[in-house]
Each structure stands twice: as C-alpha cells, then as structure tokens.
Copies of this chain bind each other. A is one copy, B any other.
C-alpha cells in the first residue's frame, strides 16, 4: 500500500498563522503536530510500503523538515514546480508508484484535513482496498452531519431499505457542486448524499488506465516524461511534464466520467478545517462556546462563542461574542466569526500594499 499525500495547498484563510511558505498543512491549528504530520501519523499503523508527499517547491524544505522524524517508513517528498490541481499531482504520483509496483494500491489523502476517529479511517482504507484491488476507483464519502453548503456532495446509488448499515461500496449516481441551503437540507434528509472528501483508494495502473482514456494528452506526456523515483533527473522530468498541462481536479477529469467509480461511506468526525470558524469542529469549546488554543490563559467577562489562537499570551475578552482572535509574533487578526472566508481579503490587501513580510 502506497500513501500519496497531497500537500501543495497554499491557503490564505488561516492568516496570520498560515503564510505563503507555511500554509495550513504545515501549521498546527490545534497547537500540537502540524496537519501534515498528523496525516502521516494516523496512517502509519497501516504499515504502508512508502509515503509520497506531493508539495510545491516553495514549501518543499519545510515539508521535508517536518517529516524527518518519521523513520519507520520511507518518505519521498516530491515538489511540483507549479500547482496544477489534483489530476496532475495524482497522475505524477501514480507514475511514481508504478516505478515500485505497477499494481500497487494508492491511497490519496489531503494533508490538511482533521479526522477525529483515526482508526475508522484506517479500517475504511483497508476495506476500500479490497475493491480497489479488483480494479475500482474508490472515493470516500463522508457521512454528513449538517446541511453544509461549503462542500461538494456525492449522490450514491443506495437502496436504503436494504443496507441500513451503509457499508458499501456503492455506485455513484452523480457528483454535486456546493449546493444552496435548501438543497443541502434535502440531501441530509435523503440519506444517500455524502460529502466529497477528496480521499481515494485505487491501484496505480487503474487510475493511469482511466487517465489514458479521459486525459489522453496528459497521459501521453506522463509516459514521455519518464518520471521515475530514484533517478537524478526527476526534478527535470517533472519540470518538463508540468509545462503546458491543464489544471483540472481529479473529480472533474476522471471521477465524474469513469464507470469504475465506487463510493465507500465513512463516519469518523471529519473536517476540512476550511477557515478559523472550523476550530470548534476540531477542539471542544468550553461552557461559553469558546475555543482557546495556545493562549497562556483566557479571562472572559460577558463573552461567549469566541475562537482564540494566541502565541502564548494572556487573552482577555470583555463583552464580545462570536469573534475570532488570532495573535502571532508579528500580526493580529480580529474577525467576525461569520466572516472568516474574508480573511483572504486581508491577505490580498497586504499584497496590494506591498507588505510582503506579512504574507
């Protein structure tokens, strides 16, 4: 089993904690290991043959540094010269896995997700691996816990009267973009809609066959580039591959088209931790609904439902509710909890003002 971790994200929504060279997966929202490190740690009990981490050249050094201490399994850190979405990264990873074992099982995991019940993830991967071995493309569908409008959904072909324990794998009826609230409520009620997690299990040769069918130009370039682990030419091969390729998501390029797709549902306390407002999904709030991470302490006077991340400072709140407070050694963010998506506007304004030291 080969674990492919997609770690090339460059999110700006966790500013000021996340920065250009220290994006979400390389920081710790929860105050301990980074999200990348936790992603590695939670799959180590599966005893994978190798871990391939796909990142970009800006973050490669910090990525390698963070992975130095995991010596029970070989880890390859592969740097993309430029981000070209998930289809390209997965194609590259599949070609590299083929170097070791053409029919090797590939588990694709984003580096920046939170998972509460990690054993459930491991058991689900093992279970999904059985279908993957038989040539299916398995996508993990997260059991929804609320009518979330910020995620894409997968509608599965399930006869709910027959399979109430929902083990699967199930055929996929369709992939759905982020829905309006009224639709999301309906999905939650119907019971056969699942959050699209971006986690996959398949054989390297299966996904490459489907790329040959649905991304023939890219697949051809992949073959011509000759990318292979262990060659000193890998960096040049990748640079050559990434010239003039399309930026496509694996869902759009393959999953929505292939007839070999199946979905395995999973309920494991999952969050993609999309912004500061997701902190309560990751850390239990106190009695006042406040989450406080990394502060020396929190004194609350008539305050509730705040999200606090501090660089070991004493934080006091007086008469404020639903406010996000983030403090780092050089910057402070104060944000309405409902406006966390707009933190990226701060980063844009910093860029426009040429304040690159804060980016």
Residues of A within 8 A of B (CB): 15-16, 296-297, 299, 301-302, 306, 310, 313-320, 323, 325, 327, 330-336, 338-340, 342-343, 345-346, 349-350, 353, 355, 358
Contact = CB atoms under 8 A, between A and B. Distances in A.
A343 B299 CA distance: 11
A16 B314 contact: yes
Contacts of A313: 330-332
B335 A315 contact: no
Given A325-B334, A334-B325, A358-B314, A319 B346 contact: no
B302 A346 contact: no
Ranked nearest first, the 9 interchain pairs of A and B with the lowest CB-CB distance are A319-B336, A319-B339, A318-B335, A314-B331, A316-B346, A301-B345, A315-B332, A299-B349, A316-B333
Nearest to A15: B316
A319 B335 contact: yes
A105 to B, nearest CB: 43
A320 B337 CA distance: 10
Contacts of A327: 327, 332
13 contacts: A297-B353, A302-B339, A314-B331, A314-B332, A315-B332, A315-B334, A316-B350, A318-B334, A318-B339, A318-B345, A319-B339, A320-B335, A325-B332
Nearest to A318: B335
A334 B334 contact: yes
A70 to B, nearest CB: 35
A153 B315 CA distance: 37
Nearest to A340: B318
B334 A299 contact: no
A349 B318 contact: no
A212 to B, nearest CB: 46
Contact of A342 (B296, B319, B330): B319
Contacts of A349: 299, 301
Contacts of A297: 353, 355
Nearest to A276: B318
A310 B327 CA distance: 11
A328 to B, nearest CB: 8
Contact of A333 (B15, B318, B353): B318
A320 B323 contact: yes
Contact of A330 (B296, B318, B345): B296
A323 B334 CA distance: 9
Contacts of A336: 318-320
Contacts of A345: 301, 318
Nearest to A327: B332
A302 B342 contact: yes
A20 to B, nearest CB: 15
